Chain A
Amino acid sequence: MFGAIQFLNGLSHGLSLFLVAAGLSIIFGVLRVLNFAHGGFYMLGGYVAYEVVRRIGMEHGLFWVAVIVAGLVLALVAAGIERFMLRQLYNRDQIYQLLFTFALVLLIGDVVRIFWSTTALSVSFPPELRGAQNLGFTIYPRYRLFLCVVGVVAAVGLWLLFQRTRWGRIIRAATQDREMLSSLGVNVPMVYLAVFAGGGALAGISGALAAPALALRGGMDAEIIVECFIVVIIGGLGSLWGAFIGALLIGQLRAIGITFVPEWEIVLIYLLMIVVLVFRPWGLFGKKQAGS
């Protein structure tokens, strides 16, 4: 039986995935850089949250401090990487940017191993979100419900940011035509810096929020980045809506797969990806590029 619980499981998984995939997609949309290290940012966010919680504890409200610190630290890390390293590579062939972000993946993996060892670590649920909530039709863990709410709020917030603010207009313009934007007097390198740092912060926050729900361990970066790639391939690279719908699809497809065809659950997701790649290689919500 595909019950309410499985639907909610798929939903909370999808919405959590969206937070990470959105950053990846926006960064690609503006900078045209496929950031392999995005999963590393996510993992680092989780470990930073762990470290903060270890130092200041878990009393009321303190977990949220850890989440904010993780977001800030990752924004700084990403900004530093963009300003001092990635920026040197924009005029080079795209393969150099790919190699660079891949090097970051290895680097972040080693940093985590050195500081936090290879054993799995755990962050408790914040006290205010412990236990389960009776929803009338089913009982569901509070923290997972909270993750659903965060995903929806983030989606609406990002949409408003892009559609309704001056900053959003500039970012959208940067995805369309950076030369024109530059000649209009907009400081384009600054936009790049802000977008990369913002994407990093989003990944860091997602990692911190995932920490209580999952366990922290080396390798969580690879797991999330593969899922994110599938999301943006299905949804369309550079599209916020694409990331949203793609993430929800993956979440549900996984839950449905486990319920009805448990041995084939992973195959199902890759099948969807192949179908999209064959019939709509630019993704469900992506833009078909000239020549492709």
Chain B
Amino acid sequence: MTKSYNALLLLGVTLLASTVAGSALAQEGEPIRVGVAFPQTGAGASQGSDTALGIEMAIDEINANGGLLGRPVEMFWRDSKGTPADATIAARDLITLDNVDFFLGGYNSGETLAMSEVALQEEVIYVAPVGKTIQLTDNYHPYQFRIAANTNTEGGSAALILEELGAQKICTILFDYAYGHDLLKGFEKALESAGSDAEIVTQVWPALGVSDYTPYIGEVLNSDCDGVFSGIWSGEFLAFAKQASSFGLFDMGKHWAAAGEVGSQDIMEQLGADMPNGIWTNSYEVWYYPDTPEHNAYLEKVRELTGSEHPNPWPSVGYIGMQALAAGIEAAGSTETDAVIAAMEGLSFASLVGELTIGGEGDHQANRGQYWGVTADSEHPFKVLDEVRYVPADDIMH
């Protein structure tokens, strides 16, 4: 009798001990699951893969330093394929199949808005490291955070550049979809709040995906504008620049602000000698600026990972997004959704591009500025940005 009682007791103690140990282990070692959804195929595949690489880099660094809240971070990656429909599927699979606690993703505006919608439905925190569309903030909900600069900042910084260059009459060449119209809003707002007397005299609206820009170029040639604001992004700029050059549009002495991250290293390499000299353009990041210890340490790692001496800015975009999320989790002291949201509101964190602050309730956007510079020849087979500067977002982002 006593013997069997003792055996039962022993069994009970063992069971109890193992569950206690188990729960202790869970707190200590259970990884924090972070989902990542960028295009691995389709349009934006190379940019998406490089952005994910940056996130992976940040996570590896976190794990090498003992993890977050003492727990390792595990990354789950799904293909968003560049379309809103596939982005929705990817985000949902991350949450329901991979059980992620947080997710980052979205290359273009369509993907970004779609993922934000999933975040709202599933009540999981979503960090947008790339998407700039102001519509994300227009459709605000508490589960979304934007760490990228927004279209107000991009259009606004172009306006400040043209204003400083002394442009009085401005032509705009913007894509006829949400991004182009959003850029114009930011541009006009910044001109107004800067008290500028510059005015927009000619607007052309090429459809996204046209390959023949000559009629639009013709309109700008016929205009008496002395400044041009264009929003022909990345790869699309290739056809545009070649056609505009053949008309001599870049040699007419018009001040030029080209939004759409045309100054990005991948685009510079793609265009080579076709990239005109002397136009102002932006980039998320450039490998030759700034010369700070943080940036140099980052560059060293990216060079090692990508094998490229002149890395493109995409890894930095993912890297900063993950820095923001990690800072939020650290500040919350927990992975509880509500706690992390509360901790991220108003949070200042050290990022690759210096200290960033995330806006409070109703905003949830980091005050991320933009790098601008003027295109110039370099010792390499591609152009670089000269006179690079960081245009802060605080006065133009809202």
> Is the CB–CB distance between B246 and A255 below 8 Å?
no
Q: Which residues of B contact A213 (CB under 8 A)?
A: 212, 242-243
State whether the Cβ of B122 lies closer than 8 Å to any Cβ in chain A: no
Q: How far is the CB of A137 from chain B (nearest CB, A)?
A: 14
State whether the Cβ of A99 lies closer than 8 Å to any Cβ in chain B: no
Q: Which residues of B contact A97 (CB under 8 A)?
A: none
Q: How many residue pairs at the A-B interface have CB separations less than 8 Å? A: 98
Closest to A123 in B: B242
> Is the CB–CB distance between A119 and B271 below 8 Å?
no
**Distance between Cα atoms of A74 and B26 in the complex (Å):** 62
State whether the Cβ of A262 lies closer than 8 Å to any Cβ in chain B: yes
Closest to B243 in A: A213
Q: Quick one: given A223-B210, A223-B211, are A132 and B218 in contact (CB under 8 Å)?
A: no
Q: Quick one: given A9-B214, A214-B239, A219-B209, are A144 and B46 in contact (CB under 8 Å)?
A: no
> Is the CB–CB distance between B238 and A122 below 8 Å?
yes
**Distance between Cα atoms of A203 and B205 in the complex (Å):** 29
Closest to B42 in A: A118
State whether the Cβ of B270 lies closer than 8 Å to any Cβ in chain A: yes
> Is the CB–CB distance between B246 and A6 below 8 Å?
no
Q: How far is the CB of B260 from chain A (nearest CB, A)?
A: 13
| CB interface residues, A 154-168, toward B, < 8 Å | none
Q: Which residues of B contact A5 (CB under 8 A)?
A: 218, 221-222, 247
Specify which of B45, B218, B274 is in contact with A6 (CB 8 Å cutoff).
Answer: B218
Q: Quick one: given A122-B270, A259-B215, are A132 and B46 in contact (CB under 8 Å)?
A: no
**Distance between Cα atoms of A117 and B266 in the complex (Å):** 14
> Is the CB–CB distance between B235 and A120 below 8 Å?
yes
Closest to A125 in B: B246
Q: How large is the interface on A (under 10, 10 to 19, 20 to 34, 35 or more residues)?
A: 35 or more
Binary flags per residue of A1-29, CB closer than 8 Å to B gives 1, else 0: 10101100110110000000000000000
Q: Which residues of A contact B238 (CB under 8 A)?
A: 120, 122, 215
Q: Which residues of A contact B176 (CB under 8 A)?
A: 263
State whether the Cβ of A58 lies closer than 8 Å to any Cβ in chain B: no
> Is the CB–CB distance between B215 and A258 below 8 Å?
yes
Q: Quick one: given A219-B209, A262-B203, A263-B205, are A122 and B242 in contact (CB under 8 Å)?
A: yes
Q: Which residues of A contact B247 (CB under 8 A)?
A: 5, 132, 141
State whether the Cβ of B43 lies closer than 8 Å to any Cβ in chain A: yes
Q: Which of B215, B239, B271 has the most CB of A within 10 A?
A: B215
| CB interface residues, B 247-277, toward A, < 8 Å | 247-248, 266, 270-271, 274
State whether the Cβ of A47 lies closer than 8 Å to any Cβ in chain B: no
Q: Which residues of B contact A262 (CB under 8 A)?
A: 203-205, 219
Q: How far is the CB of B241 from chain A (nearest CB, A)?
A: 9
Q: How far is the CB of B111 from chain A (nearest CB, A)?
A: 15
Q: Which residues of A contact B216 (CB under 8 A)?
A: 258
> Is the CB–CB distance between A255 and B218 below 8 Å?
yes
State whether the Cβ of A89 lies closer than 8 Å to any Cβ in chain B: no
Q: Which residues of B contact A217 (CB under 8 A)?
A: 211, 235
State whether the Cβ of B16 lies closer than 8 Å to any Cβ in chain A: no
| CB interface residues, A 113-138, toward B, < 8 Å | 117-120, 122, 124-125, 131-132
Q: Which residues of A contact B203 (CB under 8 A)?
A: 262
For the complex with contacts A9-B215, A214-B239, 8 further pairs of A-B residues with Cβ separation under 8 Å are A6-B222, A118-B45, A141-B247, A223-B209, A258-B219, A259-B222, A262-B203, A263-B176
A sample of 12 inter-chain contacts (CB < 8 A) reads: A6-B218, A13-B212, A118-B45, A125-B246, A210-B211, A214-B243, A215-B235, A218-B43, A219-B209, A220-B211, A223-B209, A262-B205
